Amino acid sequence: MTGETMVEVDFRTLVSDLTLEEKISLLSGRDFVSTPGVPRAGIPPLKTVDSVNGIRPTDFHGQLSTASFPNTACLGSTWNADLLERLGQQIAQQAKFKHAQVVLGPTINIHRDPRAGRNFECFSEDPLLSGHLGAAIVNGIQSQGVGACPKHFVCNDSETFRHYYNVDASPDGRPLREIYLAAWQQLLKRSNPVAVMTAYNKVNGTYCCENSDLIEKILRKEWGFDGAVMSDWFGTRSTVAAIEAGLDLEMPLPFFRAAKLAKAVQSGEVSEKTIDARVEKMLQMRNRTRPSHGEGPERSEITDESNAIARDLAAEGIILLKNSEMTLPFSTSDSPKIAVIGEYGQRPILTGGGSASCEAQYRQVPHELLREAHPNPDNVKYAAGVRTRVIVPVADSSILRAKNGKEGVDVSYFNDDATEPLLTEVLDEATIFMLGKYKPGLKVPGSHLEMSTTLTPKTTGTHLLAVRHSGAFSLRVDDVEVLSGPVPNITTEQFLFSPIKYETRLDFAMEAGKAYQIHLKMQSRELTIGEPTPYGATLCFEEQYSEEGAIAEAVEIASKADISLIYAGRNQQHESEGFDMDAITLPDNQTALIKRVAAASKRTVLLLHCGNPIDVSSFEDSVDAIVNMHFPGQEGPAAVVDILTGKTNPSGRLATTWFKTLEDWPSFGHFPSEKKENGDVEIKYEEGLSVGYRASDRESRIRWPFGYGLSYTSFSYKDLRVKVDKSSSPATLKATVNVANTGSILGKEVVQVYVSPSQNTQAWRPERELKGFAKVSLKPGESREIGIEMDLDTSCQYWDEAEKTWKLDVGEYKVKVGSCSTSFVI
């Protein structure tokens, strides 16, 4: 059934025709990505997909590619809602290629602390910016008949113990109302998503999935949201409490519904009227996503439209943070000698880790792009520098041989009560991944696998052998056991996102060109209660290298270059769903590489892959320019080269404050969550409203402020006018200012409007808060009057905790316009 052939019927009218069993079936998933339909009644299933940075295939570890767009923190740095709405349209098209009806995103959590694992897939520290840009993506997606499901409602701002921690704050307290809930309120004022996903954590002692104060009181009654509410994956915690609180859909499987929910109805704990209300929400999702229903194999298509959007997003999100003596842009016309240094100069990092990651359709190579842009390509030299990985890489198939003589490994699967293998196969890559869905006939528990191959190293040395394993294992080399390990104490989530937690490794002396017989045996593990049981094994291998030699090679080419470009930063093993970081400094080996290359180079440009801020204290003064590349998607490397060479003028602006050190963040000392003696896990938002730039008492600790970003041109502001219109509904505040490009090249400026509270305010308030913004493109010498209209109440009010309502104090409010949160030209 497709959207074109589907009968134009309001699916909600079918509720009375459904049996109780059919109704209940619609309130939970049937597998990892989809919900069932009711074929008898013509009700189709629903398929969900991650994410707004690239649409993943059904198979979590599948290799089917997609258009890869920049990470959401990069999207936030564009400050361009119009561009993000166009992104939403392309995301919808990519979802249709995967025959999906609902995109799980965007992520609307706040950059509270720079160690948070998923900050890279969130917009900003600011609720207004987050809500505006999130709404733009939602509107773009839904304009194409695909649904959007923003996540995670609310306060999933940390990954440590995310399934259990309690945010010790009331939904009627000012921090939640003015920061964390405010982002959602802004989004819902400007868009109407088909669904909202709840967070794993508790707020004020109650899990979000069963928190009626959040779902029914605030989301539905106060804000008027009429879409569906769904759980995060394995995020439902109860049968009765969750459905009574307003949770319509449990994903991905009915651990708390199905027979348990039917029993609750039969016992009178849940009324069928409540079931009907939840079913109506699920049927309304089908009404609103009707054009996207389709059948057929998932596919990947490279389109000019998606590539153009990906390039524009990267170009407008990449931020020039430092540019001493106009180091950038540099011209290639006079054939400069360029040193490109760093592993990311060969293999750039396009996405962060976890459900927001995806397999890009192609991967541009930065040093090759620079060679293409250079009149004398031989003047561009490359050195890999130091290694940046956390885990040992999968053994390269080029040095592995299966029994048939081809690259790969032989794998046999055995049930423990049998002497012969159930199945034997040859795999191109030395990795096996199964999650809940196993080889036909394979018993779990009660089985094991055996992987064998011939490994021939290219060099002589003490190499790294490692195994990532879900169960107890032994590894034999030439029929001698060299490594073994017990069943790792990991959750299903850690199996997906934290491979370092189940990796066992050893140093092993090997000779170049010698063939070693490798045999890995791994036992299945016991079933995991409430989640699918992981079953996976990976053979990992890395040849020895000299870190000092790698740095020396980089220094050698840098010393002969006119300019050195160091590609550094983080990858998916540092920033990912599933865990938070411990620190925000770069690894010591990267810091050493940067400082030694900079000392040898005439001019040095540092290009950073990151979703979170990095403490650059130890090397900022050593380099001439710093570029925040984010994780820029498949067109990002080309966008970076365009900025380096002046083809594109950088226009990204920070959506999150970069303080100087971790200790300078207002959240320091209160992040992440902590497990108490009684087993409870709690996180306190002790900084209150002082999130990011709102902590005005910390301005001396800021390295680069919120809203900051350099350009190759300059801008001036004049003639600010402010008008209040109380006759409109709602009342509006409009700031109008004249902005001029006073430089010599085309540039884009982000005009930012901040409001300071009345002196008569009855409560402590931040010194200034962002209330409006606009991005404008100006030619050299061009000036334009920019008008930014804002909701008067939203711009001036605060939450009164005693009265539990928004309050606007009488008095004079200051309107400030400028290019960042600490620099106001008017």
Q: Which helix (H) or strand (E) holds 85?
A: helix 81-97
Calculate the CA 814 to chain-centre distance.
36
Three-state DSSP state, 284? helix
3-state secondary structure labels for all residues of 524-592: CCCCCCCCCCEEEEEEEEECCCCHHHHHHHHHHHHHCCCEEEEEEECCCCCCECCCCCCCCECCHHHHH
The DSSP annotation for 654-718 comes to: -SS-EESSGGGSTTTTS-S-EE-TTS-EEE--TTTT--GGG-GGGGGGEEE-TT--B-SS-EEEE
**Can you tell me the distance from the alpha carbon of 309 to that of 86, in angstroms, rounded to the nearest whole number?**
7
Strand, helix or coil for residue 465: strand
Beta strands in 128-201 (DSSP E): 147-148, 166-167, 195-197
d(CA 637, CA 344): 10
Q: What share of the chain is helix, strand, coil (3-state, %, to 5)?
A: 25, 25, 45
Query: pLDDT tens digits for 645-680?
Result: 999 999 999 999 999 999 999 999 999 999 999 999
Q: For the chain, what are the domain ranges?
A: 11-292, 397-542, 715-824
Catalytic member of 113, 126, 157, 232: 232
Instruction: Tell me the residue type at 610.
Output: C
Predicted local distance difference test score (pLDDT) of residue 7: 58
> Which residues fall within 8 angstroms of residue 465, CB to CB, at 6 or more apart?
475, 477, 482, 483, 505, 506, 507, 508, 540, 541
Beta-carbon contacts of 690 under 8 Å, excluding residues fewer than 6 positions away, are 666, 697, 698, 766
Instruction: Note if 582 is an active site residue.
Output: no
| CATH code of the region 397-542 | 2.60.120.380
Pick the CATH number of 715-824 from 1.10.10.10, 2.60.40.10, 3.40.1390.10, 3.20.20.190: 2.60.40.10
User: CATH class for domain 11-292?
Assistant: alpha beta
Low-confidence ranges of the chain (pLDDT < 70): 1-7
Neighbours of 394 (CB within 10 A): 17
